[in-house]
Amino acid sequence: MATQGTAPSLDHRLASAMAALPARIDQVIEPWAERTPDAPALAEEGRAWTYGELARNVGFLRDWLRQHGVRPGDRVMVVAENGIAQAVLILAISAADAWVVNVNARLSAREIDLIRDHSGARRVLYTAAVSPDARAHAERHGAALLDLPDVGPLALGPLAPDVVPEPAATDPAKQVAVLLYTSGTTGAPKGVMLSHHNILFIATTARVMRKMGPGDRLYGILPLAHIVGFSTVLTATLMSGGSVHFAPRFQPEAALATLERQRITRFLGVPAMFQRIREHCATKGVTRLDLPDLALISASGAPLDLDLKEGIEQLFGLPLNNGYGITECSPTIAMTSSDKPRRDESVGEPIPGIELRLLGPDHQPVAPGEVGEIHVRGPGLMQGYYRAPDLTAAVIDAEGWFNTGDLARMQDGALWIVGRSKELIIRSGFNVYPPEIEAVLNAHPDVTLSAVVGRKVPGNEEVVAFVQLRPGAATSAAGLAAFAAARLAPYKRPAGIVLLDALPTNPTGKILKQQLAQQAASGPAPDEARS
């Protein structure tokens, strides 16, 4: 317990916050709707809602959903891009005791249909006014375009009469709030079941550790259809009494204008977003941004190399925080402390309440400083994969430990991610971790992004790098190979470098490495430089 005259410790503040968690995610807005109904809650280009308006519209949509056949335990799919409509639908579906199946409208028709069918969605809703892709999916599915009071245009798909609602759990730690799909791009879709408590635990941890409050204004550019946007951007901000300014798609010039005009205090992005801002500023001759209201910037979702971190910190005049998580953990596992900025690219310490261990190939803990596979357990861990008990059992053992499939080392109490176990390249008996080679390539002044994959060759595996250059750059693949050779051990050097106009990415900016691995496996490209 804190003594008089001293600030409560982090553990004390977290314990107090966890003790006051509501049962459902929609209930986080209730205290603010009662105490400060006129305070800003959600905004997008052209309109904004207060907490009072948000609470009223959540109640309206909850009743509207029930009138259109949505029952407790039903899965309700939302095909959307970021905006007020998507946010209020998430909360209204929660208030109706249904599961939200949150899907990015930029997925392909095949992916959308696989998720709809696998989830057994009772209804599908589309934010047609915000997203042209959502509108296209709505038209393809024969959805009716409706103009709801205050909410605006939404498309409502046909009722699926034969689906069966899931039984309700009396314990909010078990009651599913959201079904997020992590592998709809290849093979069968895999739905991650996250409970209300899973989400609220992570949102509360973020709120307390990042000292979020009613004066905060977050830039809502990370997709709500993905877990960081859902848990940290939306839920944690509303839990804090702050406001979110949404944008459906990222453009560096528009992002910088929004940060300034809306006096944004917190900007959470993926490394690719920060890289694009850095490039944009370089073309404009901007070496330092003037954003006096911005207090925190943070990256997650992909490896953050030191060159980008240092460049962004110089540009913004702020430490670039880093974090690590996975959808199955709601997502946060570790993050850096804003009170003690790090000068390296580690992802910080495991968050309170999370148990973490690193295991070697023999399933035994590795020595300090050695690389092992990350296993975790704690209140953020999913309820399992929907309708896939075999997949769940393959990653969560009998003691509740979840195998993330990521490789890391622990050094001075901090976690350093070195790659995915499935992406590990074994070259002539040596372990090669793609992020290390990518960091070297990304340090070249002409490189925007890079991605390294393995390619099987008779009796061995070789390293292949795909590189996206800055606009107007004249560097050749051979020049990059020489640059890498001077900085890497022989077994780590790319056997081939392929220059692409743009690396393939998903809607969050993550590079689609599986697609590149398939390209590499088909054999050397006609223009691939060999080293």
Render pLDDT for 39-58 as a digit per residue (tens, 0 to 9). Answer: 999 999 999 999 999 999 99
CA end-to-end distance (rounded Å), the chain: 62
Tell me the Cα Rg of the chain. 23
> Average pLDDT for residues 13-20, to the nearest whole number?
92
Q: Where are the beta strands (DSSP E) in 234-367?
A: 243-246, 266-269, 296-299, 320-325, 332-335, 349-350, 355-359
- Out of 96-100, 191-195, 264-268, 517-521, pick the least confident: 517-521
Q: What is the pLDDT of residue 184?
A: 41
Q: What is the pLDDT of residue 528?
A: 60
Name every residue whose Cβ is closer than 8 Å to that of residue 460 and which is 6 or more positions away in sequence.
427, 428
pLDDT band at 317 (very low <50, low <70, confident <90, very high): very high
Q: Where are the beta strands (DSSP E) in 209-344?
A: 217-220, 243-246, 266-269, 296-299, 320-325, 332-335
pLDDT band at 302 (very low <50, low <70, confident <90, very high): confident
**Which residue bears the tokens 């804003």?**
338
The answer, yes or no, to whether residue 2 has pLDDT greater than 60, is: no
- Is residue 279 within 8 A of residue 448, CB to CB? The reply is yes
Q: What is the pLDDT of residue 6?
A: 53
- Is residue 42 within 8 A of residue 54, CB to CB? The reply is yes
Rounded Cα–Cα distance for residues 26 and 44 (Å): 20
Q: What is the pLDDT of residue 508?
A: 74
**Residue 257: helix, strand or coil by DSSP?**
helix
Q: Strand pairing of 75-80 and 99-104?
A: parallel
* Mean of per-residue pLDDT scores for the chain: 93
Q: What is the pLDDT of residue 242?
A: 98
* DSSP annotation string for 27-73: GGGHHHHHH-TTSEEEEETTEEEEHHHHHHHHHHHHHHHHHTT--TT
Q: List helix spans (H) across 292-444.
A: 306-316, 389-395, 434-442
Rounded Cα–Cα distance for residues 447 and 423 (Å): 22
- Is residue 94 within 8 A of residue 25, CB to CB? The reply is yes
The answer, yes or no, to whether residue 510 has pLDDT greater than 90, is: no
- Is residue 527 within 8 A of residue 496, CB to CB? The reply is no
Rounded Cα–Cα distance for residues 386 and 381 (Å): 14
Residue 262, token pair as written in the block: 């809306």
* DSSP annotation string for 122-158: EEEEE-TTT-HHHHHHHHHTTPEEEEETTTEEEEEPP
DSSP assigned state of 511: B
Residue 412, token pair as written in the block: 């001075």
Residue 19: φ, ψ to 5°:
-70, -20
> Average pLDDT for residues 236-256, to the nearest whole number?
97
The answer, yes or no, to whether residue 240 has pLDDT greater than 80, is: yes
Domains and their CATH numbers in the chain = 22-39+47-194 (3.40.50.980), 250-421 (3.40.50.12780), 424-530 (3.30.300.30)
Q: How many residues does the chain have?
A: 531
**Residue 398: helix, strand or coil by DSSP?**
coil
**Which residue bears the tokens 């609470």?**
55
Question: Checking phi first, is residue 412 left (phi over 0); if not, alpha (psi -120 to 50) or beta?
Answer: left
Measured torsion, CA atoms of residues 209, 214, 215, 217, in degrees rounded to the nearest 10: 80
pLDDT band at 172 (very low <50, low <70, confident <90, very high): confident
> Average pLDDT for residues 277-304, to the nearest whole number?
94
Q: How far is CA 451 from CA 307, 464, 520, in A?
A: 16, 8, 11
Name every residue whose Cβ is closer than 8 Å to that of residue 191 and which is 6 or more positions away in sequence.
101, 115, 118, 119, 179, 180, 181, 385, 386, 387, 388
- Is residue 365 within 8 A of residue 390, CB to CB? The reply is no
**Which residue bears the tokens 């509501």?**
22
The answer, yes or no, to whether residue 368 has pLDDT greater than 70, is: yes
The answer, yes or no, to whether residue 531 has pLDDT greater than 60, is: no
Considering the chain, what percentage of its residues have pLDDT values greater than 70?
A: 96
The answer, yes or no, to whether residue 186 has pLDDT greater than 50, is: no
